[in-house]
Amino acid sequence: MRPPSNPRIRLVVLLLLAAAVGLVPTHPATAAGTASTKVFTADAQPTWQTNGIVWAVTYVRGVIYIGGNFSTVRPPGAAPGTREVARDNLAAFDANTGDLLPLSHRFTSPQHAFSGAKPDVSCDVDWDSQVYSCDTIYRIKASPDGSTIYVAGDFTHVDGQVRTKIAAFGASRDNAPLDTRFAPTGINSRVRALAVGSQSVYAGGLFTQAGGAARTRLAAFDRSSGALTSFNASADAEVIALSLSADQSRLVVGGNYNRLNGVAQHALGAVNPSTGRSTAWAWRGVPRTSYITDLVADSNAVYMTANGEGTWDGRAAVDPATGRLKWFDSCLGASWAAALHGDLLYTGSHAHNCNDTDGGFPEQATDMPEPRYYRLLAQTTRGSSTSIQYWFPSTNGGDPNIPATRSVSKLGPRALASDGRSIWVGGQFTTVNDKPQQGLTRFTLTAKSIAPSTPAAPTVQNSGQNQVTVTWRGVEDLDDPTVTYQVYRGSTVVYRVRGSAKPWETKKTYSFVDRGLTAGSSVRYTVRAVDGHGTAGASSPAATATVGRSAQEPDPWADDQWGHERAPWSDWDDPWGGW
């Protein structure tokens, strides 16, 4: 969501919001948890792509499974429509090499006419013939023993066999056939959420019937037979996310409902995984206009992402046994996907203002139609508050050629999974770090850090007295908060200075006075930035000046070429200052 543009109103809104969720920050220096897990680098690694939206990413036994609404995959670097391989809403990749694996099945559903009324744009819509069909996969979850994957969504048939909204396959590097034993039937509408325990598969969504019985948006099926179990819980509106607690003693239910098992409870709660009865839930802080979109658990907490209209749409951690809030962040920008890697939480969102969260960033590009989005975040999970780590790769929201009216909200990332070495990100994006890459990407621990951006050409000015003043504007770096600028005269480094590479601090300018030059000579300067891992960015375009003997002082208050007022006294002759 966009916050009010007036900063004072915004502050009031944020404080009211913090009060609403039961945690008023007394001062910004609240001790945030630290992490022992290393953060991934921000340089996206070569990854296969899809021609549509990826809604689910799951890792099991060396394989990454993706599900969504697509009909082909294509290799890293391939343009849309080229080198495509048919894959219908489901595909698998070797988690280590990234190579495509043979898994391939056909997910279908009946076609409906829509004649005038707007169809569900998350489905396959033929706008010319006014027909649509809904066969999207929304979730893939593996069994705890890693033997089986469960796939859920809108489809009614798999490979021509009836599988209403949910199906199972053996987890395998080969093209595992459809599981013939696990074949629940009679689910009459979308399954949006899955959780898999050692005995049962839990489904949540929009349905009101399952396995020949009434089941209102929540149901469970026996893992070995696929039969509906006696588990019986209900929600009065869509269930979007499910997660078992790490000890499997609670099933946490997230969504956009207002009643759980008939009792008023908005968006978040827990039930007994055997009976479906509601269990204790202390935190009632999800605002009525927010809803829970994803859930993931470890032994510390269950973590969630939220979407909201004009209200909370950040992340939170809750103790699943009691429902007590451990921490939340008040970042603005709808959040849709969560995955754990060690003790760090990775999320997909379109966060654009995390100014009230440790390690966060202010709203940027406030004069533009859209603010700057940071669509992928890593943050700490332990302790009573969270800290955003310095890791800011990003994607675009979605295909800019598809009109907004014919697309689900263009939020970018929609699903994440860690394979222990990489974080895989699926979604509706068509670029990653401003380079073409559709539907899927990944970041690793071992890749080089991403290079700092390339500085614009410096401003060089004859300052008289055989001196030239070189001035340049800061760069940004997506995985190092500081860089070292190197100023080159010709091919020689004549100055080094460290500076911030935070994208929200790039308006800073830096200056250096090159002394003792030969009057009348022409000198040529370039600037580049090297990050804290030693990865160098490209050199700026060159700028040239003619050295003067007589003083010709520049106007210290003249705007520089970027329209920023210079502060000529800063940074000069201070090799480690300047930021």
Rounded to 5°, the CA angle 294-450-358 comes to 50
Tokens in use for 477? 């770096």
Cβ of residue 288: shortest distance to Ca ion, in angstroms? Answer: 41
Q: Which is nearer to Ca ion, 88 or 479 (by Cβ)? A: 479
Q: Which is nearer to Ca ion, 88 or 480 (by Cβ)? A: 480
Cβ of residue 298: shortest distance to Ca ion, in angstroms? Answer: 28
Q: Under the criterion CB under 5 A, does residue 480 sit at the interface with Ca ion?
A: yes
Q: Under the criterion CB under 5 A, does residue 425 sit at the interface with Ca ion?
A: no
Q: Under the criterion CB under 5 A, does residue 531 sit at the interface with Ca ion?
A: yes
Q: Which is nearer to Ca ion, 40 or 303 (by Cβ)? A: 40
CA–CA separation, 492 vs 513, rounded Å? 15
Q: Which is nearer to Ca ion, 39 or 271 (by Cβ)? A: 39
Q: Which is nearer to Ca ion, 134 or 450 (by Cβ)? A: 450
Q: Which is nearer to Ca ion, 245 or 453 (by Cβ)? A: 453
Q: Which is nearer to Ca ion, 39 or 54 (by Cβ)? A: 39
Choices 142-150, 302-310, 337-345, 443-451 (CB under 5 A): range interacting with Ca ion: 443-451
Tokens in use for 415? 């699903």
CA–CA separation, 140 vs 102, rounded Å? 17
| C-beta separation of 497 from 575 below 8 A | yes
Choices 116-124, 239-247, 277-285, 448-456 (CB under 5 A): range interacting with Ca ion: 448-456
- Residue pointed to by tokens 């949540």: 204
Q: Under the criterion CB under 5 A, does residue 135 sit at the interface with Ca ion?
A: no
Q: Under the criterion CB under 5 A, does residue 454 sit at the interface with Ca ion?
A: no
63's enclosing H/E stretch is: strand 63-69
Choices 261-269, 350-358, 479-487, 509-517 (CB under 5 A): range interacting with Ca ion: 479-487
Cβ of residue 426: shortest distance to Ca ion, in angstroms? Answer: 24
Partners of 374 in beta bridges: 351
Q: Which is nearer to Ca ion, 390 or 572 (by Cβ)? A: 390
Q: Please tell me whether residue 405 adopts helix, strand or coil conformation.
A: helix
Cβ of residue 530: shortest distance to Ca ion, in angstroms? Answer: 9
73: nearest Cα among 92, 59, 95: 92
Contacts of residue 106, defined as CB under 8 A and 6 or more positions apart, other chains included, come to 88, 157, 158, 159, 160
Q: Under the criterion CB under 5 A, does residue 449 sit at the interface with Ca ion?
A: yes
Partners of 327 in beta bridges: 317
φ, ψ of residue 301 to 5 degrees: the values are -170, 175
Q: Which is nearer to Ca ion, 296 or 450 (by Cβ)? A: 450
Cβ of residue 552: shortest distance to Ca ion, in angstroms? Answer: 39
CA–CA separation, 340 vs 327, rounded Å? 16
Cβ of residue 480: shortest distance to Ca ion, in angstroms? Answer: 4
DSSP E strands, 154-190: 157-158, 161-162, 166-170
Q: Which is nearer to Ca ion, 358 or 479 (by Cβ)? A: 479
Rounded to 5°, the CA angle 189-193-197 comes to 120
Cβ of residue 493: shortest distance to Ca ion, in angstroms? Answer: 19
Cβ of residue 388: shortest distance to Ca ion, in angstroms? Answer: 17
**Rounded-to-10 torsion of CA 411, 243, 328, 339:** -50
Tokens in use for 396? 């675009």
Q: Under the criterion CB under 5 A, does residue 450 sit at the interface with Ca ion?
A: yes
Cβ of residue 453: shortest distance to Ca ion, in angstroms? Answer: 10
φ, ψ of residue 569 to 5 degrees: the values are -85, -15
With CB under 5 A as the contact rule, the residue among 419, 479, 514, 571 that binds Ca ion is 479
Partners of 522 in beta bridges: 546
CA 513 to each of CA 178, 457, 527, 530, 544: distance values in angstroms, whole numbers, following the listed order:
71, 16, 14, 21, 14
Interface size with Ca ion, residues (CB under 5 A): 6
- Residue pointed to by tokens 């990749």: 93
Q: Which is nearer to Ca ion, 26 or 446 (by Cβ)? A: 446
Q: Which is nearer to Ca ion, 8 or 435 (by Cβ)? A: 435
84 alpha carbon, distance to own chain's centre: 26
With CB under 5 A as the contact rule, the residue among 419, 477, 514, 571 that binds Ca ion is 477
Q: Which is nearer to Ca ion, 531 or 571 (by Cβ)? A: 531
Cβ of residue 440: shortest distance to Ca ion, in angstroms? Answer: 23
Choices 7-15, 116-124, 240-248, 470-478 (CB under 5 A): range interacting with Ca ion: 470-478
Q: Under the criterion CB under 5 A, does residue 444 sit at the interface with Ca ion?
A: no
Cβ of residue 477: shortest distance to Ca ion, in angstroms? Answer: 4
CA–CA separation, 172 vs 530, rounded Å? 43
Question: How do beta strands 161-162 and 157-158 pair?
Answer: antiparallel
Q: Which is nearer to Ca ion, 363 or 480 (by Cβ)? A: 480
Rounded to 5°, the CA angle 426-292-318 comes to 105
CA–CA separation, 413 vs 57, rounded Å? 11
Cβ of residue 105: shortest distance to Ca ion, in angstroms? Answer: 40
Cβ of residue 448: shortest distance to Ca ion, in angstroms? Answer: 8
Tokens in use for 147? 């033997």
Cβ of residue 503: shortest distance to Ca ion, in angstroms? Answer: 12
Burial (CB count within 10 angstroms: exposed 0-12, middle 13-18, buried 19+), residue 328: buried
CB atoms within 10 A of CB 434: 10
User: H-type helices in 311-385, by residue range?
Assistant: none
Q: Residues 277-306: x/- map of binding to Ca ion (CB under 5 A)?
A: ------------------------------
Q: Which positions touch Ca ion (CB under 5 A)?
A: 449-450, 477, 479-480, 531
